[in-house]
Structure 1
Amino acid sequence: MTRQDDERPTGSLLLDDQLCFALYAAQRAVTAAYRPLLDELGLTYPQYLVLLVLWERGETTVKELAAALRLDYGTVSPLLKRLEAAGLVRRERSARDERSVLVTVTGRGEELRERAARVPGALLTTTGVGAAEVVRLREELWRLAERAEAASRRR
């Protein structure tokens, strides 16, 4: 029961008319599509995101990692603790600044990178989403995120 965009009332309280619900449903569905791919690696989706940042940036502070993932420190710390227990990352205090904790991928974490490189393509195959559509969706979602962040700062 889909209506045309111009028929959707802007003040509608129908669940399916809510942008936030469409985003929430899409996020849950995409995360569920990732699950079997990440299960093969022994990772949860949030752990995968942490490793993506570390593989891209190398040694990073917890603060920088949290900022990159748009998460708070308290959310990132338990993720790092589990990844460290699995032998995938190492945390240590910075010699330059005792308040700062550095996170580094271990050799075992680097080995996982090669296997993880197959995940993005496998997700596209599984979902049937083409590369051009991914680019368009990603650009639109980043624009939406920027607008929403700007709106939340104005309040």
Structure 2
Amino acid sequence: MDDEFTLELDDQLCFALYAASRVITARYRPLLDDLGLTYPQYLVLLVLWERGAVPVKDLGAALQLDYGTLSPLLKRLEANGLVRRERRPEDERSVIVALTDDGVALRERAAAVPPVIGDAMGLSKEQTAQLRGLLRTLTDNVSR
């Protein structure tokens, strides 16, 4: 048996990822509470702030979420006046998600979030870039 792969908890990469994800998400919570958002709602808004109006299908692909998971998020954001969903005139089956004026305005307040999280992580720019790259590679490899 390869010594690298044991049944010891401290040897489980999945547990290290799980624990890191939990503490980072918990660190986001008070910041996002101030914005009236959950973490998944924040992720939706990040895509819309970056890309503008997008089809639901593209939003799901960007966030790696299926329609059943994404739909309730969009309903809540729409109820809160931050996004609107519209059928595309040229294809009634396709729905576009766009920011409202309030959704656009929230971006300015949300700009304070990444620096706080970055400071909490305590990594250099180089370490952050390296970790992000490794995690993307990991995700791609495991997804195959």
With the length of structure 2 as denominator, give the TM-score of the two structures: 0.94
- Say how many residue pairs are matched: 143
Aligned pair partner of 1:138 in 122, 126, 132? 132
Q: Which residue identity is paired with 2:114?
A: P
Aligned pair partner of 1:36 in 30, 37, 40? 30
> Counterparts of 1:36 and 1:134 in 2: how far apart (Å)?
22
* C-alpha distance 131-37 of structure 1, shift in aligned 2 (>3 A): farther
Structure 1 outlier segments of 4+, above 3 Å: none
Aligned pair partner of 1:49 in 33, 43, 49? 43
Asked whether 1:126 is paired with 2:123, we answer no
- CA RMSD of the aligned region, Å? 1.3
> Counterparts of 2:123 and 2:106 in 1: how far apart (Å)?
25
Contact 2:5 2:11 in 1 (8 A): no
Asked whether 1:27 is paired with 2:21, we answer yes
Q: For each residue in 1:91-117, what CA deviation from the matched residue of structure 2 results, as whole angstroms up to 9, or x when unmatched?
A: 011111111111000000000001111
Gaps of 5+ in 2: none
Q: For each residue in 1:89-146, what CA deviation from the matched residue of structure 2 results, as whole angstroms up to 9, or x when unmatched?
A: 0001111111111100000000000111111111112332332221111111111111
Gaps of 5+ in 1: 1-7, 151-155
